[in-house]
Structure 1
Amino acid sequence: MTYVIHGATGAQGAPVVATLAAAGKPVTALTRDPNAAVEGARTVAAGYGSIDALIEAYRDADGVFVHLPMVSEEDRQAYARNIVAAVREARPAHVVFSTSGAPTDIGGAAAELASGLANSGVSHAVIAPTLYLENLLMPYVIDAVRERDALPYPIRTDFPVSWASHLDIADVALALFDRHDVTGQVSVGQYPAVTGPDLAGAFGAHFGKDVVFEPITPEQMRASVAPVIGEGPAADVAGLYQAMSTLPHRSITPENSAQKLLGITPRTTGQWLSDIGL
């Protein structure tokens, strides 16, 4: 028996592997590289594109942690279908799916995966963050903080967000693997939500200087991140931020929060900056 973690060498999966290993859980790290070595885990090469490989990885698992990679929406939908098919066949004891901030109420791959898990007959929970603090480590953001005391981001100055970190997701995943009674959606993020100027203030306090929030457009963000994540994914992300700009906020609700359901309070921005040793 083991806990199977997708993307085990990536930004989202690696903290889950580390948290489970630190808790003494047996971990199987899924990667695309058959030669990868993951500390504290047994490594298995298995990609989202092979249902058979996923079935083999999931069979007899105590738990599976899954999230969809940042690729084309067409590929994400295909991966979602493969994951659901493998879960139905392999019947792991519990599945924890992180939406990575993608909405599950307006269609798309994340919605398809959440719906498929709900209809699979397998115990599961859906971790629903809003925006990741790690987004603020993109070069166009952190370099601006360091070089010109500005924090640029494609949200309005008055737009509150329940930010969460990958470390918070790992904490919640560990708890959910031990709490099969907590099912359905679990929202993860700071509450009350914080604004862009609040973020800038936390960065300023951490670095010991005044940092000003600088709202930018989704198009400016797209041009900045395309060299890092690719043109297609950058355009998709920019589209999400354009849609987000019409909303009043991206705040979680207390009723289904990790705070209420699991007693886990996500890190403040300042705590996160200290924890990652920035």
Structure 2
Amino acid sequence: MTYIVHGATGAQGSPLFKKLTTEGKNVVAAIRNPETLDAGSTVTIDLSSVQSLVAAYLGAEGVFIHLPLGPESLRLQYTQNIIEAVGTSRPKRLVISTSGCALGDPEDKSALPELIRGVEATGVSTAVIAPRLYLENLLLPIVSEAVKMEGILPYPLRSDYPVSWCSHLDVADVAAALFADTSVNGIVEIGQLPAVTGDQLAKSFATHLGREVKYSSLTPEEFGTRLTVLFGEAAAAEVVEIYKAKALSKDSAIAANISAQRLLGINPRSVEQWLVDIGM
């Protein structure tokens, strides 16, 4: 039984690739440049090539998919190619991660909703992991260095704004469980319940580090200015828009009835446990 992991050298795919490998599964990294993987089996894929996707998916027990960032027109092209490849090769199970993107209106014609609708229409067993915000965002130097050097945790959300944070490690745990339990289909939301405010987040850092850490609420624009140094203006501008939208909402909490806790019995890491697991 073979499991195909898209982006196995990236932030989401790598933890799942390692977890399945540790579990003794026959896991194959689906990547464009096989030489970027230190160890393990690989298959060369190109999202612009249906043929390469079909070759990778054919006979697979499971496939883990998440769309890469980029222009929406390109993401839509990739989406149609994946759908066609799934319909042709018919792997036994698909697990898709939304990568934190909102699914939006049922009539939304953007790439992610189109991908989910398209693969579900093939009849292949499909589960969708829907996280909110990743704890790994807090490892950005503009955040982590302020925590270490100044005892301040700066982030572009209100201090009382609740978030169901999760880790890429949690995504790997849930994805592996969804491969094992094919009775769970549809959307599985992943993140902490109850959701955690900025002040509570800083308190967890303080407990782990053994010293005072205070939360500092930035405006999306302030955060974007700092982020530009790392990723450039275009990428920073996209992030700013995401946090502007969140500023208009009451929270970023998952729904308990479709949570991984409820559907799979899997609790995400607490902030303190995550900090231990990453060795911070």
Please give the range of the TM-score, normalised by the shorter of the 2 chains: over 0.9
AA partner of residue 197 (structure 2)? T
CA distance in 2: counterparts of 1:64 and 1:38, whole angstroms: 21
1:144 to 128, 143, 146: 146
Q: Deviations over 1:149-197 (max 9, x none)?
A: 1111111111100000000000000000011110000010000000011
CA distance in 2: counterparts of 1:38 and 1:79, whole angstroms: 26
AA partner of residue 199 (structure 1)? L
Three-state SS of the structure 2 residue aligned to 1:252 is: coil
Residue in structure 2 matched with residue 23 of structure 1 by the alignment: 23
AA partner of residue 95 (structure 1)? L
Distance 1:231 1:75, change over 3 A: farther
Shift of 1:38: 4.0
Q: Provide the aligned length of Structure 1 versus Structure 2.
A: 277
Distance 1:98 1:131, change over 3 A: same
AA partner of residue 30 (structure 1)? A
Question: Which region of structure 1 is more displaced relative to structure 2, 184-193 or 213-222?
Answer: 213-222
AA partner of residue 157 (structure 1)? S
Shift of 1:66: 0.7
Map 1:186-265 onto structure 2 (within 5 A). 186-265=188-267
Shift of 1:203: 1.0
Unaligned regions of 5+ residues in structure 1, if any? none
AA partner of residue 47 (structure 1)? D
Does the 8 A contact of 1:149 with 1:212 survive in 2?
A: yes
CA distance in 2: counterparts of 1:225 and 1:82, whole angstroms: 33
AA partner of residue 6 (structure 1)? H
Distance 1:132 1:16, change over 3 A: same
Does the 8 A contact of 1:54 with 1:83 survive in 2?
A: yes
Task: State the Cα RMSD in Å.
Answer: 1.3
Q: Deviations over 1:10-45 (max 9, x none)?
A: 111000001101111100101221323343x31122
Residue in structure 2 matched with residue 10 of structure 1 by the alignment: 10
Map 1:1-278 onto structure 2 (within 5 A). 1-39=1-39, 41-106=40-105, 107=108, 108-278=110-280
* TM-score normalized with structure 2 length: 0.95
Distance 1:226 1:91, change over 3 A: farther
CA distance in 2: counterparts of 1:226 and 1:5, whole angstroms: 31
CA distance in 2: counterparts of 1:238 and 1:44, whole angstroms: 36
Q: Deviations over 1:225-257 (max 9, x none)?
A: 234334333222221111111111111111011
Does the 8 A contact of 1:168 with 1:266 survive in 2?
A: yes
Three-state SS of the structure 1 residue aligned to 2:56 is: helix
CA distance in 2: counterparts of 1:38 and 1:122, whole angstroms: 32
AA partner of residue 269 (structure 1)? V
Question: Which region of structure 1 is more displaced relative to structure 2, 26-35 or 93-102?
Answer: 26-35
% of aligned pairs identical? 48
Provide runs of 4+ in structure 1 moved above 4 Å: none
Shift of 1:119: 1.6
Does the 8 A contact of 1:72 with 1:232 survive in 2?
A: no
Shift of 1:105: 2.0
CA distance in 1: counterparts of 2:48 and 2:228, whole angstroms: 24
* TM-score normalized with structure 1 length: 0.96
AA partner of residue 18 (structure 2)? A
Unaligned regions of 5+ residues in structure 2, if any? none
AA partner of residue 12 (structure 1)? Q
